[in-house]
Structure 1
């Protein structure tokens, strides 16, 4: 079968893509950024497109030519700098359905979520609900799959946060520790999709996917901690005011393009638990429990490193931003004194101009690193400017290397933190 997978680079989408490709299907992935995807999966064809730009049937038709099945694995948790839920999860899907009616598409499959639980009125679930309802009423053959909390060998979003909290030193910090949680192995999700492609799951099916075991969030975290090879730790319930503060900061980060699993949408959904409804269709086969999933993929040291570094990313980025903002703003308090460092090379007017220019450059880098789409380039810019500063200072005032306050030596830890931030910047 010729299959188009929306969100092919995502946590679920990549697992679905690999399973269907292994089954012999001709698979094409669609995602916003596919440069690295082409390198990782050269056997798969790729289309670079943003769902937020595909708002009409006419915009979709060139991308649907030659395909028999479309599988939507794309999704976003909350509106932000790079995510528009109404555009990508609702309007783009309605346009897709309209285009599919005249494009030879045999079936559309939607990876959705339970949309009638806690937080049903939030944009994340409300847009999915409207897209699901429109698909069911479109007259097109369809299958809707609603996974619970998806876990697997890799981690993204909520599952990455679980690993990070499980690796927290000495204690397990939690909000909503007693919330019920049901899980599903990402490979079982891919198997369900494969069954739907093969016809074993018939068109018109709307199925919730979850293993039979229902856990608490606290137990889920404890299982991950044991999987990482760490000793049990007591659970510490995070005070409500601290939890709200973290959520507000995560929402702000989302507006800057950072896709934190601590945003308010995730916290609201988790408060009510991630479980199946009581009246949904049963899963099509026995699904692996969380214990079975973790046992099937023993952890290695790289998993422990990931878990321990995950929560360090935000503090590292904020620290770098403050460092560069302060380095650009503080000299403005005494421009003449700051410009004196350039006098051995430049006349006074040029030295002042160079000082102001370097301050502007520092402030720009400090701001840009907070914007997720610009963060990588900002970090690379920081490294380049740091190298330039060190070389210039070594030529003009080499004695600064021996200064008791260490103005040049202190730059080296900043460069190391920048390299570390680059190393852990990617989410998947």
Structure 2
């Protein structure tokens, strides 16, 4: 009997990437599909970049037939509505087209859908309600399916919320006590992959596996404080004193995170993330364990009893600092340009005049340099153009340094050392550029 062909939708995400690699290691032929894959994620010619969410049902049907797909694993999901993110489009509209495509393919296909734990009565966010609506659509479709509801996923990689918890463990502060006490049942990503492999190996005609919904998480109750404590043991920070963050700071962080999302940054501190955090992550994994005989890894087994590696520590420490780095660079360029153009224009122009610049060029150069500085700050602020802004900022800074060395060398020894400080600013922009990747 041949191994089934598996199509993983969302193969660039935390779950999708791990599942694709794990299933291949088990001998399955896995077609990994994502809207965008980083160069490091293109590990196989079967990893395909496609505008998944814009595909109509006919295009998805052709994809299923072309690769003779036996199992579809849908890991697609977005946390919050915003530019380029639409929970209704991703969680409901696409699922409707996917279900139609499975029905039109003429093949016996099992759908494995990644959802969220909890109950409809507790759903308050667009993220949760659309996820639950997708479950209802799948249940009513009549196709063979398994809805998996993982708890808080712990994986070797870390994005979003899983990265945030690592960062909290690496610093001497914590979330407010109410949030720390929220139930937060974890699951190892290895257990999710093992479950999908188990389902893929089942006969699709097995009536007992025709339609299942399982909560995937460890059985023992765990709070967010418990998860962070385990990370602190790994990072060696368990004995540090930890100060509780005031609630207003968390709320401020949420507002800033929502603002950043409109600029294209996927901050883990957004309103939906905190709302889901406060609701907690709970479920009943007994049906899953009984059916598959998979014993979920404990928290200690998942995070590990061994010390974190140096790259783990660096990532955790830099995760929160990264936001501060980018915010400071945006402020540096925008504010400096604004001051030169609107507040201290005469002083800025006077520097050029004092160094014998032609009077006809003083105003154009002063205005142009100020507008350039502000433009660099705006470019850095938007995620899509941030790399361009950082490179432009480094080039502009080097240009200022070189131009001053040639035309006004005395500026290098002025008391406040403005030009000398440009060097560290270039280094900071280089650090920002090196940490720009999310995946």
Write out per-residue CA displacement over residues 331-378 of structure 1, whole angstroms, 9 at most, x where no aligned residue.
113445434555668643333223222222211221222222222222
User: Taking structure 1 as reference, are residues 87 and 348 closer, same or farther at Cα in structure 2, changes over 3 Å only?
Assistant: farther
Q: CA deviation at 1:238?
A: 2.7
Moved over 6 A (4+): none
Gap regions ≥5 residues in structure 1: none
For residue 78 of structure 1, what is the aligned residue in structure 2?
A: 80
For residue 199 of structure 1, what is the aligned residue in structure 2?
A: 202
For residue 225 of structure 1, what is the aligned residue in structure 2?
A: 232
Gap regions ≥5 residues in structure 2: none
Contact 2:175 2:250 in 1 (8 A): no
Write out per-residue CA displacement over residues 290-316 of structure 1, whole angstroms, 9 at most, x where no aligned residue.
101122765211111111111101111
For residue 114 of structure 1, what is the aligned residue in structure 2?
A: 117
Write out per-residue CA displacement over residues 42-75 of structure 1, whole angstroms, 9 at most, x where no aligned residue.
3242322344423x31343443332412211121
TM-score (norm. length: structure 1): 0.92
Of 314, 335, 338, 2:348 maps to 338
Q: Does 1:58 align with 2:83?
A: no
Q: CA deviation at 1:282?
A: 4.4
Contact 1:401 1:409 in 2 (8 A): yes
Write out aligned runs for 1:265-414 (5 A): 265-277=272-284, 281-282=288-289, 284=292, 285-295=294-304, 298-333=307-342, 334-342=344-352, 347-414=358-425
Contact 1:51 1:88 in 2 (8 A): no
Question: Distance between the aligned counterparts of 2:118 and 2:263, measured in 1?
Answer: 27
For residue 159 of structure 1, what is the aligned residue in structure 2?
A: 162
Alignment coverage as a number of residue pairs: 424
Contact 2:147 2:212 in 1 (8 A): yes
Question: Distance between the aligned counterparts of 2:181 and 2:225, measured in 1?
Answer: 6
Deviates more, 1:172-181 or 1:392-401: 172-181
For residue 15 of structure 1, what is the aligned residue in structure 2?
A: 18
Q: Which structure shows the bigger proportion of residues in helix conformation?
A: 2
Write out aligned runs for 1:129-168 (5 A): 129-168=132-171
Q: Does 1:250 align with 2:257?
A: yes
Write out per-residue CA displacement over residues 368-395 of structure 1, whole angstroms, 9 at most, x where no aligned residue.
2222222222222212222222222222
Contact 1:119 1:269 in 2 (8 A): no
Question: Distance between the aligned counterparts of 1:254 and 1:340, measured in 2?
Answer: 40
Contact 2:115 2:131 in 1 (8 A): yes
Question: Distance between the aligned counterparts of 2:242 and 2:21, measured in 1?
Answer: 37
The SS at the match of 1:406 is coil
Question: Distance between the aligned counterparts of 2:288 and 2:25, measured in 1?
Answer: 28
Question: Distance between the aligned counterparts of 2:330 and 2:274, measured in 1?
Answer: 27
Contact 1:218 1:235 in 2 (8 A): no
Question: Distance between the aligned counterparts of 1:125 and 1:115, measured in 2?
Answer: 9
TM-score (norm. length: structure 2): 0.90
Write out per-residue CA displacement over residues 92-146 of structure 1, whole angstroms, 9 at most, x where no aligned residue.
1211211222224512211111141685131111111111211121122211111
Q: CA deviation at 1:277?
A: 4.5
Write out aligned runs for 1:87-126 (5 A): 87-105=89-107, 106-116=109-119, 120-126=123-129
Q: CA deviation at 1:408?
A: 0.7
